[in-house]
Amino acid sequence: MSGRSPQFYCIGHKPPAFTPRCDYLHISPNRFDGLNQMIVPDDALGDKYHGSVLSEFTQLFALGELLKDSPPDDYFYMFQYRKFVALKRGAQTASNMPYACASPAEEADGLFPSPEDLAALDGRLLTVPALKIQSIARNYARFHLTEDFAAFVISLRGSGHFDDRRCRNFINCGILYPSSSLGLHQIGIFLRHMAIMKTVWSHFADNFHEKREGLQRRSGGFLLERLQSFLMYEEIDVHRTIAARQGHLTVLSETPVIRVTA
């Protein structure tokens, strides 16, 4: 890691439900008293990149703009109001999310990594646990609309970043990094991935996007999360351009059952 301590960013529509052990910038569509914030309304980047469809990726694209002139070998740590990647495992595994720990706020306060903890990683990324799955295509089809995924693959090809072989690798990839935006990132890698995702989404929005109802209205966020996971997989596991440590996904919850937010 470069000599500077990593910056900390919290992204989401609520303030943290625990007490982070750091100074951080809260990136949100909503304003909250007492927080150091960058307000990014859901329509800040226009209708094409609206947060009602892209979820947190609207704010992530805005963060990319904020970081574009930063040294590419610097690092930052990303967390959400109720989720983060810890170096130590919490006491309770979530009953409905076995790759995550369900932690009450008082436990989460102690699990949240300090700047010194992250510096000790010595240049490695800190990621969520990598899950073995049948394929990204099958994983997406379990929870979302298959026709959106199929059209998204066409946009991968149409973006100019993916050839046929890379599209097949994406479809059949057997590794998933859930909540892939969380953890310790290197700025240069993050910016490269954001540029790819923004181009792919632009193609999809122009050619295929249809408004959905209910949870599926955030189809853009679900698709881009799979793409970000795949780009991380390529970086870490295929090309091995940077080393990484898998941490422990920690979700704030007073019970073993983690509530899914709509």
User: What distance in Å separates the CA atoms of residue 182 and residue 200, rounded to the nearest whole number?
Assistant: 21
Residue tagged 């937010």 (tokens): 261
Q: Which strand ranges, in their side-by-side order, compose the sheet holding 248-252?
A: 83-86, 248-252, 100-103
Q: What angle do CA 72, 73, 75 make, to 5 degrees?
A: 100
Q: Which helix (H) or strand (E) holds 230?
A: helix 219-233
pLDDT in tens, the chain (262 residues): 555 789 999 999 999 999 998 999 999 999 999 999 999 999 999 999 999 999 999 999 999 999 999 999 999 999 999 999 999 999 999 999 999 999 999 999 999 999 999 999 999 999 999 999 999 999 999 999 999 999 999 999 999 999 999 999 999 999 999 999 999 999 999 999 999 999 999 999 999 999 999 999 999 999 999 999 999 999 999 999 999 999 999 999 999 999 876 5
Does residue 136 sit in helix, strand or coil? helix
User: What distance in Å separates the CA atoms of residue 255 and residue 45, rounded to the nearest whole number?
Assistant: 37
Q: Where are the domains of the chain?
A: 7-252
Q: Which helix (H) or strand (E) holds 126?
A: strand 125-127
User: What distance in Å separates the CA atoms of residue 216 and residue 222, rounded to the nearest whole number?
Assistant: 9
Exposed/middle/buried for residue 34 (C-beta within 10 Å: 0-12, 13-18, 19+) = exposed
Q: Which amino acid is at 108?
A: A
pTM over 0.85: yes
Question: How much is the pLDDT for 260?
Answer: 76
| Residue (of 128, 116, 125) closest to 22 by Cα position | 116
User: What distance in Å separates the CA atoms of residue 238 and residue 32, rounded to the nearest whole number?
Assistant: 41
Question: How much is the pLDDT for 259?
Answer: 86
Q: CA separation (Å) from 8 to 3, 36, 139?
A: 15, 11, 30
| Residue (of 87, 92, 96, 169) closest to 129 by Cα position | 87
CA 235 to chain centre: 15
Determine contact, residues 101/95, Cβ cutoff 8 Å: no
